[in-house]
Amino acid sequence: MTTDPFLDQIRDGVAAICSNFPGKYWQECDANRAYPEAFVQALTESGYLAALIPEEYGGSGLNLTAAATILEEIHRSGGNAAACHAQMYTMGTILRHGSDAQKAEYLPKIADGSLRLQAFGVTEPSSGTDTLSLKTTAIKDGDDYVINGQKIWTSRAEYSDLMILLARTTPRDQVEKRTDGLSVFLVDMKKAKGNGMEIRPIRTMINHATTEVFFDDLRIPANSLIGEEGKGFRYILTGMNAERILIAAECIGDAKWFIDKASAYASDREVFKNPIGKNQGIQFPIAKAYAHMLAAEAIVYRAAATYDNGQDPGAEANIAKMLAADASWEAAEACLQTHGGFGFAEEYDVERKFRETRLYQIAPISTNLILSYIAEHVLKMPRSY
Ligand SMILES: Cc1cc2nc3c(=O)[nH]c(=O)nc-3n(C[C@H](O)[C@H](O)[C@H](O)COP(=O)(O)OP(=O)(O)OC[C@H]3O[C@@H](n4cnc5c(N)ncnc54)[C@H](O)[C@@H]3O)c2cc1C
């Protein structure tokens, strides 16, 4: 953990907000698969969700290290930032690649919470991780683009005003490079709903408000295009490093929560007239999880610092995401085992956090794909796919 006084202040501020949203709050949201509206509202009003938006657009103009600290603290406190974290990094697409008019129109409203940009439509059912084979098309027609296709796992679509959408504008066989021909759009969800866009929720093992989104001749104005037509894949890629670092910070927060919860319970719970934490069979998995968390944390904040220095954090961001997700999963397993049967009781929050942290082995990028990235881009081995 860093000892930067500014970051400590952020941690304390976020912890104070989170203290109003205890385990019971998250248990109820989870049981009802309800969007944590009050929490998202409180976080928006505090300005923390606008951490990465520059001051000239009404945000606080903080760096990625500060944003990672905010998300880590939410998870460290037992909460879950998945309901709103996308807002932090998806707005980067507008900030980096949007026109002056788009930035002036949207960023201040995203910063003050009057518009939510929570939905990010990239993944499709038939293409999965192979993003370049996505099939959703956007065809220019007069002053509009006409969208057809389907997205899956578009989280928070029902609670978002805007969606960043990746679609194909030039057929794959008509582009020189496989990464060309995809474009990014900012879709006004309120106008689109019922007019060519339909959202269907998917119930999952966690409370994630994720959905399928169907496009059937949806017309959006041509000025919804962000940046240049055909260059969208690059724009999405530049945002992915920030996303991976921020999600990795959430994993570190989860790992710390599990480790604290496990060590406290192990010291307290007496079986055979002794605290169970006296047994090395209980101690060692928790101690090992702590060591792995600490190592992962160092890489996560190194990746954030690399990003903040304007260098390419590709390798660090991917490695941080993998190590942090592994650390949180290891800590989750040690925590559940330490709690014995009580680990399964909803009131302890362990089973909920256990389910929630499992996601990070799969999303936003799976462990296998990170290993492929390291093998190919860092170790220069042949590409496997
Ligand atoms: C709860 C949830 C929320 C999500 N939110 C969003 C969102 O908001 N927006 C969005 O666009 N997407 C979202 N996703 C999608 C997520 O990014 C994908 O699920 C993830 O990238 C994996 O894609 P897939 O599910 O299609 O798996 P697949 O690509 O079908 O892969 C299945 C398995 O095969 C493995 N695999 C695939 N190819 C290879 C290979 N070449 N080598 C080795 N192993 C391989 C993968 O590692 C994985 O374990 C979300 C997913 C979930 C579950």
In this structure, what CATH number is given to the domain that contains residue 32? Answer: 1.10.540.10
Predicted pLDDT of residue 326: 98
What is the arithmetic mean of pLDDT over 370-375?
98
User: What's the pLDDT tens digit per position in 302-323?
Assistant: 999 999 999 999 999 999 999 9
Write the residue with the smallest CA distance to atom 33 of ligand 1.
Answer: 366
Query: Ligand 1 mean position to 45 CA, how many Å?
Result: 33
What is the CATH classification number for the domain harbouring 135? 2.40.110.10
Domain boundary, last residue among 112, 130, 145: 112
Whether the CB of 222 sits within 6 Å of ligand 1? no
Residue 2: per-residue pLDDT? 54
Report the pLDDT value the prediction gives residue 87, as an integer from 0 to 100. Answer: 87
Q: Which position has the token pair 């599990």?
A: 258
**Judgement on whether residues 53 and 41 belong to the same structural domain of the protein:** yes
Q: Are 30 and 24 in contact (CB under 8 A)?
A: no
Instruction: Count other C-beta atoms under 10 Å from residue 3's C-beta.
Output: 6
Residue 20 Cβ contacting ligand 1 at under 6 Å: no
Q: How confident is the model at residue 344 (pLDDT cuts 50, 70, 90)?
A: very high
Of the candidates 265, 250, 251, 241, the one whose C-alpha atom is nearest the C-alpha of residue 350 is 265
Beta-bridged to residue 187, according to DSSP, are: 163
Report CA(129)–ligand 1 centroid distance (Å): 5
Distance CA 246, CA 25 (A): 24
pLDDT digits 0-9 by tens, 15-25: 999 999 999 99
Contact 239 CB / ligand 1 (< 6 Å): no
In ligand 1, which atom is closest to the CA atom of 361? 49
pLDDT grade, residue 233 (50/70/90)? very high
The domain in which residue 96 lies consists of: 5-112
Quick one: 219 and 204 in the same domain? Answer: yes
What is the mean pLDDT of the segment spanning 41-55?
Answer: 96
Q: Classify residue 299: in a domain, yes or no.
A: yes
Which of 366, 368, 373, 384 to mutate for ligand 1's pocket (most ligand atoms within 8 Å of CB)? 366
Q: Apex CA 340: angle with CA 336 and CA 341, to 5°?
A: 105
Same domain, 180 and 138: yes
| Mean pLDDT taken over the chain | 97
pLDDT at residue 385 tops 60 = yes
Report yes or no: 117 and 102 within 8 Å, Cβ to Cβ. Answer: no
- The string of pLDDT tens digits covering residues 123-136 is 999 999 999 999 99
Domain-located, residue 139 = yes
Q: What are phi and psi of 78, to 5 degrees?
A: 100, -5
Find the radius of gyration of the CA atoms of the chain.
21
Q: Which amino acid is at 287?
A: A
Task: Supply φ then ψ for residue 187, to 5 degrees.
Answer: -100, 130
28 and 96 fall within a common domain: yes
Q: What is the DSSP string of 98-132?
A: S-HHHHHHHHHHHHHTSS-EEEEE---TTTTT-GG
> Does residue 384 lie within any of the structural domains?
no
| Among 243, 297, 316, 330, the one annotated catalytic | 243
Give the other-Cβ count within 10 Å of 271's Cβ: 10
Interval 147-195: pLDDT, tens: 999 999 999 999 999 999 999 999 999 999 989 999 999 999 999 999 9
Query: Domain end: 112, 128, 151, which one?
Result: 112
In the listed set 179, 214, 230, which residue is the last one of a domain according to the structure? 230
Instruction: Tell me, yes or no, whether 383 lies in a domain.
Output: no
Are the CB atoms for 123 and 152 separated by under 8 Å?
A: yes
Say what the pLDDT of residue 238 is: 86
Q: How do residues 56-83 score in pLDDT, each as one tens digit?
A: 999 999 999 999 999 999 999 999 999 9
The yes-or-no answer on residue 243 being catalytic is yes
Tell me if 38 is assigned to some domain.
yes
Domain shared by 270 and 357, yes or no: yes
Would you state the torsion angle of the CA atoms of residues 217, 220, 224, 228, taken in this order, to the nearest 10 degrees?
A: 40
- Number of domains within the chain: 3
Which of 104, 340, 130 lies closest to 223, judged by CA? 104
Q: Whose CA is nearest to atom 20 of ligand 1?
A: 363
pLDDT of residue 320: 98
Q: What is the pLDDT of residue 362?
A: 97
Give the pLDDT band of residue 1 (cuts 50, 70, 90).
low
Read off the pLDDT band of 3 (50, 70, 90). confident
pLDDT given at position 140: 98
- What integer pLDDT is reported at residue 68 of this predicted model? 98
CB 159 within 8 A of CB 207: no
Q: The whole model's pTM is what?
A: 0.97
* Span 113-122, pLDDT tens digits: 999 999 999 9
Q: How many angstroms does the Cα of residue 325 sit away from the middle of ligand 1?
A: 15
Q: Comparing C-alpha atoms, which of 255, 254, 235 is closest to residue 186?
A: 235
Instruction: Please provide the DSSP assignment of 243-290 as one string.
Output: HHHHHHHHHHHHHHHHHHHHHHHHHH-EETTEEGGGSHHHHHHHHHHH
